[in-house]
Amino acid sequence: MSGDRTSWTVSDWARLARIEIPEEERAGLEADLERIVGWIGALGEAGVAAAGESASSLAASDFSLATSDGTPVERPDRVQPSLPQHDAIAETASSHDGYLVVPRVVDRSGDEA
What does each of the 113 residues of the chain score in pLDDT, given as a tens digit? 444 555 567 888 888 888 999 989 988 888 888 888 888 888 777 765 555 555 555 555 555 567 777 777 777 788 889 989 889 888 888 999 988 888 877 766 665 54
Q: What is the pTM of this model?
A: 0.38
Dihedral-angle region of residue 21 (phi above 0 means left; psi in -120 to 50 means alpha; beta otherwise): beta
Residue 2: Cβ within 10 Å count: 8
Contact 37, 9 (CB under 8 A): no
